[in-house]
Amino acid sequence: MTTAVFAPSRLEARARLVLPGLLLVVLALLPTAGLTPNLIRLLFITFVWVTASLGWNLLGGFTGQVSFGFAVFYGLGAYTAALMIDRGVNPYLSFLGAALIPALASFFIGLPTFRLRGPYFAIATIGVSEATRVIMNNLAITGGASGFRIVEHRPFRQVDHYYTALAMAALAVAVSFLIQHSKFGMGLRAIKQDEEAAADLGVNPYAYKLAIHAVAAALTGMAGGVFARYAAFIYPQGVFSFQTSVYILLMPVIGGIGTVWGAVLGGVVFGMVEEQLVANFPQIHLLLYGSLLILIILAEPDGLAGLLGKLFRRLRTPR
């Protein structure tokens, strides 16, 4: 048996834009439909998680480089935005800073480790992540472990935050698709499957891994920045925690590693259930995630997206 994969026609490619476009319109109109502030907040958080999930997916899913340290970028983004807003910089400008600083930081981890073969990168991400948290816990200008309060001299309007986060998540989806369907994305796929074979065909794996790491860090950092402005209070034990790194890794794995909609789905599911889990099972919610992770790796490595795809195909095939 051979599996045939047909190249999409131009029409099909356009049809693919219809559903996401519709989704975006619905999400943009939702706040006018009289949602409760609590629901708007939940959706806001979900968009933030979706963005971070898509960021991690670029490196982990597209390129096969597993990082346990994305809290570094999330936290750096949060603190960059916080400090800039605190100094009176326009918040939207501060989100650019929240993307740029983590992108630069990504090179500190990638430059020494991407050259090495083996799990050095994955291990280094844990070390750098923990070291950053310790440093931030003791850094005077950010208030150290006691955290940083962001004072923004303008009225708080929840829908502004909602639309910012929605636009950011849409940007992350667009960036992911653009990369996936480009030469860059083909190079990443090749690296993921066989780095040596990729190099033998002209791909520079080192340069490509550095580049996608930076893009992933930028998206994750921006998510951290947008979150920080909303939260108005951040502390290292939160944004820089190992738990945050685990969350960011978990979402694309739950949803379907390596696919754009899988990473989105993972972010949505996580955003919707996370608070409930923490509230109802404060002691064991991490254990639940761990069990879920093992279950997915064993039963459905393609995640929820893979599962849905299978269901969908089964429904469509007439018996």
Partner 1 sequence: MATPILEVEKLTKYFGGLAAVKDVSFAVPEQHIYGFIGPNGAGKTTLFNMIAGALEPSAGHIRSRGKDVTGHRPFSLVKSGIARTHQIVCPFRAMTVLENVQVAAHFGRKNITRTAAARDHARQVLAWVGLDHQADTLAANISLGDQKRLELARALATDPELLLCDEICGGLNPKETRAMLDLLERIRQNGTTIMYVEHDVKAIMAVCDHVMVLNYGQKLAEGKPEEIQNDPAVIEAYLGKAGSQKKGSRPVA
Question: At closest approach, how far in Å is the CB of 75 from partner 1?
Answer: 34
Q: Which is nearer to partner 1, 267 or 303 (CB)?
A: 303
Binding residues for partner 1 (CB under 8 A): 1-7, 181-183, 186-187, 189-190, 193-194, 196-205
Q: Which is nearer to partner 1, 96 or 199 (CB)?
A: 199
Torsion-angle region of residue 157: left (phi > 0), alpha (psi -120 to 50) or beta?
Answer: beta
Helix axes 158-180, 205-231, angle to 10 degrees: 170
Q: Which is nearer to partner 1, 60 or 205 (CB)?
A: 205
Q: Which is nearer to partner 1, 82 or 190 (CB)?
A: 190
Q: Which is nearer to partner 1, 186 or 210 (CB)?
A: 186
Please state, in angstroms and rounded to a whole number, the distance separating the CA atoms of residues 47 and 191. Answer: 29
Please state, in angstroms and rounded to a whole number, the distance separating the CA atoms of residues 165 and 39. Answer: 14
Two tokens, residue 225: 């920045």
Please state, in angstroms and rounded to a whole number, the distance separating the CA atoms of residues 133 and 144. Answer: 10
Please state, in angstroms and rounded to a whole number, the distance separating the CA atoms of residues 85 and 23. Answer: 31
Instruction: Find, among 188, 305, 294, 293, the residue nearest to 257 by Cα.
Output: 305
